[in-house]
A and B are shown apart, each in its own frame.
Chain A
Amino acid sequence: MTPTASSTASTAPGLGVLDDVVRSDSSLRRFLHGLPGVDQVGCEARAATLATRSVKTTSKAFAIDLAIRMVDLTTLEGQDTHGKVRALASKAMRPDPADPSCPPTAAVCVYPDMVATAKQTLGESGVHVAAVATAFPSGRAAMDIKLADTRDAVEAGADEIDMVIDRGAFLSGRYLDVYEEIVQVREACARPDGTSAHLKVIFETGELQTYDNVRRASWLAMMAGGHFIKTSTGKVQPAATLPVTLVMLEAVRDFREQTGRMVGVKPAGGIRSTKDAIKYLVMVNETCGEDWLDPDWFRFGASTLLNDLLMQRTKMTTGRYSGPDYFTLD
């Protein structure tokens, strides 16, 4: 493997009993492969059962507002323009201009070159700017380029960095390389004033393929100090699914139990309807408990979801459905 890796290993935040795990490639491998397996059939059955929960009336209203507050309103297109990002940022601050009681979203999520534009519009509104970095979405670039990408976004004012892991390294079993990369990106998130942008670690679960891999990647990212673990870029199918998110929720729950540290979860890609979003919230509620039912600890990476949430919200308050034409496209 990479015998020199251990000598260059940067220090992760104190993990207590887990500190020894990341000393070498072999100890890290032993640990990750020693995690309890995930039974695919059972995991999918559990997610499907939770999806049958019926959330109505007051609890639905609660869930819709919570889901809006958890949205990372996203545009990650080659054709994005500064104008579109400004419009998106305005929408994030006031998703429903007709109803001032509608909460803002958690963040807008853009490419690094759009960070300054988004930041300018959002100002001190409290809505964060998240930037995808590290050669998103494939992650196929040299390390110094990934770090430069990250620093660039942070300097432009990003509050959060959504990085992608090197799936090639992960799938070939070079876990310590992945670990070190996350640690270095996290260090690149530091600002001159000593604060640091929050780091979300994207696994691209559609490429990791097995739930066992998702659980290992989750622990790897958490041990490396990621603040959030995120399913997908949205560019690979399948993106977020309920069972994949369930495995990640179990991981953050178990990680807190072992280390006392809380890590957030962000499913991204493919969550389009209020009904879907509520299924995720039910799963968070019954897997991790209400501590995670907060935009600081759970996010939805989505673009079209917000409009459906707004339509359902309007339906809850007025009793009538209005058409999609009454909600802005971006």
Chain B
Amino acid sequence: MSRTFEYAPAPESRAIVDIKPSYGLFVNGEFVDGTGTSFKTVNPATEEVLAEVAEASEADVDNAVRAARRAYDRVWSRMPGAERAKYLYRIARIIQERGRELAVLESIDNGKPIREARDVDVPTVAAHFFYYAGWADKLKYAGYGTTPLGVAGQVIPWNFPLLMLAWKIAPALACGNTVVLKPAETTPLTALLFAEICQQADLPPGVVNIVTGAGDTGRAIVSHPDVDKVAFTGSTEVGKAIARAVAGSQKRVTLELGGKAANIVFDDAPIDQAVEGIVNGIFFNQGHVCCAGSRLLVQESVADEVMARLKRRMATLRVGDPLDKNTDVGAINSAEQLAKIRELSEVGEAEGAERWSAPCDLPANGYWFAPTVFTGVSQAHRIAREEIFGPVLSVLTFRTPAEAVEKANNTPFGLSAGVWTDKGSRILSMANRLRAGVVWANTFNKFDPTSPFGGYKESGYGREGGRHGLEAYLKGADQ
């Protein structure tokens, strides 16, 4: 027996998921073949091919939009809110019942640790459906009218495949819209399992349509003339393209884009919890989080202490098999994303920032990047300005609250921010001055369906979650 306390592997069983060799599109309540060329989805932790997935062509997207329109006109928009709610409650309960299956599949397809898929993603997904189910028959009290928009075209990213699906579909359906949703090309499997759940819940055909594919499929959805509403979560670059594509049309748009959040630690912060918050802010989900606390702003007087504690803590992060219940940091989602993280990290070093990575053994196969921190970063460095979308933290220091605000706001983004201090009045004054959609106080990366989420500036517009999230799917009180 070893003399040290090593945790033996504790893998979650894959037996609960049944991955088919190939998947079609989910249109009008049925799985159909796509007419585009199919593509492969891989397990990023092993590079094993999981399944062939159909690519939706323009014609396939057209079929899906037609199905959604029919379902909207004939069934869903006419159905009383209380009846729509029953379907949403049913979906929420099935998600809970099949929670382990969804968590395991999400972990396999995305690379995120099972601990997070199980304890964060799936419970939050179910909570989102429960929450918006509750709104379905109470829309007239929300203040945005009760008239739905029609067919919503929704395009979601690969970082939280199922959670972003829930953020999009739950409010749309609660308000009486029907949807055509495209999951990201690297993570389509849980959306397709969700399609099965829609069947299991007897959701009327055409209310939810899932079309898989890459950029071309997404463009076909966004530019389809019969789509009334476009909702997108992803990169700022694509968000801008979408805004251009729909300009001049009647389509409503909400965009939830990139971020470069400042996580601000004052010298009176609860320091052990602040270190946990920094770790959670940037290493949660391998840093594949649009609201990640990727810029640490730490007050100069405690900078050395915070960095020493942070590095000690980072050395205990367990990087590896996402399905092991003890894994803290999983695999990078794709080779492409890994290349981008590597490139920006090299730029960080070349620009003179000091790089430190947690000592850890990375698996030989798959896409991996050790948790990394850059110190001596200045506002001018690319790693302080561009979204890396990986487990890479840039550390800057400040001396006064005014300097912290100035640095935090000096970015084209404005999605989230964190403030760590024991002083309540400072939390409030910082929250007022930070130009970010969400400001977390003495915590980070907390998500709740009742709380609106969304950005300033290049982080997008529109809010998801809470009562505010209904606005994106209703015509308004005066319509």
Question: Which residues of chain A have a CB within 8 Å of any CB of chain B?
Answer: 36-39, 41-43, 45-46, 52-63, 66, 250, 281-282, 285-286, 290, 293
Contacts and interface: CB of A to CB of B under 8 A. Distances in A.
Nearest to B420: A39
Contacts of B6: 59
A43 B272 CA distance: 8
Given A46-B276, A53-B7, 16 more contacts: A37-B270, A38-B270, A38-B272, A41-B443, A43-B270, A43-B273, A46-B272, A46-B273, A52-B115, A53-B326, A54-B325, A55-B7, A57-B8, A58-B1, A281-B5, A293-B4
Q: Which 6 A-B pairs have the closest CB atoms?
A: A42-B273, A54-B10, A39-B270, A39-B273, A54-B325, A36-B271
A52 B7 contact: no
A310 to B, nearest CB: 18
B196 interface: no
Nearest to A41: B443
Interface in B243-285: 268-273, 276-277
B2 A62 contact: yes
A37 B268 contact: yes
A46 B9 CA distance: 22
Contacts of B351: none
B119 interface: yes
A45 B275 CA distance: 13
A45 B276 CA distance: 10
Interface string B1-37: 1101111111000000000000000000000000000
Contacts of B443: 41-42
B316 interface: yes
Contacts of A46: 272-273, 276
B52 interface: no
Given A41-B442, A41-B443, A53-B326, A293 B5 contact: yes
Contact of A38 (B4, B119, B273, B316): B273
Chain B binding site: helix, strand, loop or mixed by DSSP? loop
Contacts of A58: 1-2, 8
Interface in B21-70: none
A192 B280 CA distance: 53
B7 A54 contact: yes
B268 A55 contact: no
Interface residues on B, range: 20 to 34
A36 B269 contact: yes
Contacts of B268: 36-37
B10 A56 contact: yes
A108 B294 CA distance: 51
B422 interface: yes
B5 A285 contact: yes
Contacts of A42: 270, 272-273, 276-277, 442-443
A43 B270 CA distance: 10
B119 A52 contact: yes
Contact of B10 (A41, A55, A66, A293): A55
A290 B2 contact: no
Interface string B276-301: 11000000000000000000000000
15 contacts: A38-B270, A38-B272, A39-B273, A42-B276, A52-B325, A54-B325, A55-B7, A56-B8, A56-B10, A58-B2, A59-B7, A61-B1, A62-B5, A281-B5, A293-B5
B307 to A, nearest CB: 14
A55 B324 CA distance: 11
B8 A290 contact: no
A281 B442 CA distance: 27
Contacts of A38: 270, 272-273
B273 A59 contact: no
Contacts of A62: 1-2, 5
Contacts of B277: 42
Nearest to B12: A54
B125 to A, nearest CB: 19
B114 to A, nearest CB: 10
A139 B422 CA distance: 33
A54 B273 contact: no
B324 to A, nearest CB: 8
A280 B442 CA distance: 25
Contact of B272 (A66, A250, A293): A250
A61 B2 CA distance: 10
Contacts of A43: 270, 272-273
A249 B422 CA distance: 21
Nearest to A215: B272
B8 A59 contact: yes
A36 B309 CA distance: 13
B270 A59 contact: no
A147 to B, nearest CB: 36
Given A37-B270, A37-B422, A290 B276 contact: no
Contact of A290 (B5, B9, B325): B5
A42 B313 CA distance: 15
Contacts of B10: 54-56
Interface string B289-330: 000000000000000000000000000100000000110000
Contacts of B271: 36
Contacts of A285: 5
Contact of B8 (A39, A55, A250, A293): A55
A36 B5 contact: no
Given A38-B270, A41-B442, A63 B5 contact: yes
Nearest to A55: B7
Given A42-B442, A58-B1, A36 B8 contact: no
Contacts of A63: 5
A284 to B, nearest CB: 9
Nearest to A253: B312
A290 B273 contact: no
Contacts of A61: 1
Contact of A59 (B5, B119, B269): B5
B442 A54 contact: no
Contacts of B316: 286
A286 B6 CA distance: 11
Contacts of A56: 8-10
Nearest to A52: B115
B442 A290 contact: no
Nearest to B7: A59
B268 to A, nearest CB: 7
Contacts of B270: 36-39, 42-43
Contacts of B326: 53-54
A63 B325 CA distance: 18
B93 to A, nearest CB: 24
